[in-house]
């Protein structure tokens, strides 16, 4: 079977279709644009939406960074980087500042993003109302009529039952005072990084065939109540490697008696802070 693949795998017509969807998504911040998602050679749920976005916007001069759980070296990040190295011959970087495109699963880098950079999020469930109303035919109407009462009721019920809002990641946000949006399963710690960010944030859900976006300098507000304001995760200690006290910390179990240490989830930020240089 003679096989040849286009630059960055997807054919140019498919890329154009995705770019048109991206433009629409940028024009209506937070709105989920249905698109003709293609089958990718990686499984659904493993970043096919993100990969399609990256494939559609990447050019030969781009420098791509891929992270998963904040790390450049987790298996799925490695696999996606290998995919773009093979299909696009693209330059890969671990340095947040040097990257023109950053594809991510579950984190936003600690290093502040800059204008001109594109963040690409892998999204498993694009619909923030999915667990309140599983039917797309219904949620489409709820978004259309800005009928978001049930989301606030859910958050209120959390407070009534647990004394606080019980969502720890994929914490819903309202974009540009209009659409409620899933920020993808990033920890709520990362939500404020989206607010008025100078970078372009693109969200791709391959299986659900939805693209949405937050354009630069757009208001992204985590839902809360006046008397129960949105709050971030806090740690008592600092990173065991770089000593950082202002980053999201992962917990590493170091022995079978449960001894724990905390280190930065963002490996690039951590190594930089610890004084390591990059190749």
Partner 1 sequence: MYVAVKGGEKAVKNSQRLVAKKRRGDLCVQKISVDQITNQLGLGVDRVMAEGSLYDVTAAAMAIQQAQGDMTEAIFLVRAFRTTLKRFGNSIPVQTTKMTAIRRVSGIFKDIPGGQVLGPTYDYTHRLIASDQDHAPDPPCEQDTDTASAPPDQTAAGDGISPLPGELPRVIDLLQAQGLLQQDETTSFGDTAEDLTRQPLAFPVSRNLRLQTLARGDEGFILGTAYSLQRGFGLDRHPFLGELKVGYVAVRYTPPELGFDIHVGRMKLTECVMVNRQNDAARKAAGFETGYGLVFGQNERKAMSMSLLDRSLAGEKNTGKNGYPARDPEFILSHCDNVESSGFVQHLKLPHYVDFQSELVFIRNRPKDHTPDKGNP
Point out which residues bind partner 1 (CB under 8 A).
1, 3, 5-6, 9-11, 34-41, 43-46, 48, 68-71, 73-79, 82, 105-107, 124, 135-137, 161-164, 166, 168-170, 185-189, 207, 209-210, 233-235, 240-241, 248-252, 263, 265, 267
Q: What ranges in 12-132 are assigned the alpha helix state H?
A: 12-27, 48-57, 75-88
Smallest CA-to-CA distance from 99 within 121, 112, 82, 118 is with 118
d(CA 169, CA 107): 10
CB of 57 to partner 1, least distance (A): 19
Q: Could you tell me which residues are beta bridge partners of residue 60?
A: none
Minimal distance in Å, beta carbon 218 to partner 1? 24
Write the DSSP symbol of residue 38. P
Residue closer to partner 1 by CB (options 139, 218) is 139
Closer residue to partner 1 (CB): 141 or 196: 141
Q: How far is the CB of 29 from partner 1 (least distance, A)?
A: 20
Minimum CB distance to partner 1, residue 261 (Å): 9
Residue (78 or 221) nearer to partner 1, CB: 78
In eight-state DSSP terms, residue 257 is T
CB 191 within 8 A of CB 169: no
Strand pairing partners for 120? 103, 202
144 Cβ partners below 8 Å, 6+ apart?
none
For the CB of residue 262, give the shortest distance to partner 1 in the complex, in Å: 9
Closer Cβ to partner 1, 107 or 273, answer by number = 107
Rg (CA), the chain: 19
Torsion of CA 73, 76, 78, 83, to 10 degrees: -160
Residue among 187 and 218 whose Cβ is closer to partner 1 = 187
Shortest Å distance, C-beta 174 to partner 1: 20
Closer of 62 and 268 to partner 1 (Cβ): 268
* Residues annotated as catalytic (active site), given as ranges: 30, 239, 242, 264, 270
Cβ atoms of 147 and 132 closer than 8 Å: no
Alpha-carbon distance of 59 to 126, in angstroms, equals 26
48-57 and 75-88 are packed helices; what angle lies between their axes, rounded to 10 degrees?
30
């Amino acid at each position: 079977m003679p096989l040849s693949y286009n630059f960055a795998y997807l054919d140019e017509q498919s890329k154009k279709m995705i770019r048109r969807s991206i433009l629409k998504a940028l024009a209506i911040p937070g709105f989920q644009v249905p698109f003709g998602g293609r089958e990718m050679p990686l499984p659904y749920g493993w970043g096919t939406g993100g990969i399609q976005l990256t494939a559609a916007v990447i050019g030969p001069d781009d420098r791509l960074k891929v992270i998963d759980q904040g790390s450049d070296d987790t298996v799925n990040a490695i696999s996606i980087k290998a995919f773009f190295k093979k299909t696009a011959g693209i330059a890969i970087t671990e340095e947040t500042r040097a990257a023109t495109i950053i594809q991510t699963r579950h984190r936003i880098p600690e290093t502040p993003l800059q204008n001109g950079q594109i963040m690409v999020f892998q999204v498993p469930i694009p619909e923030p109302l999915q667990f309140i109303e599983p039917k797309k035919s219904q949620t489409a109407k709820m978004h259309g009529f800005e009928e978001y009462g049930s989301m606030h009721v859910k958050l209120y019920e959390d407070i009534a039952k647990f004394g606080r809002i019980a969502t720890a990641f994929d914490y819903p946000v309202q974009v540009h005072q209009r659409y409620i949006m899933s920020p993808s399963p990033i920890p709520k710690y990362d939500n404020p990084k989206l607010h008025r960010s100078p970078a372009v944030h693109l969200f791709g859900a391959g299986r659900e065939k939805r693209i949405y976006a937050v354009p630069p300098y757009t208001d992204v507000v985590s839902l809360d109540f006046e008397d129960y304001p949105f709050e971030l995760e806090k740690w008592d200690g600092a990173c065991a490697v770089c000593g950082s006290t202002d980053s999201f910390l992962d917990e590493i179990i170091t022995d079978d008696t449960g001894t724990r240490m905390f280190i930065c989830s963002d490996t690039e930020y951590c190594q930089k802070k610890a004084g390591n240089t990059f190749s």
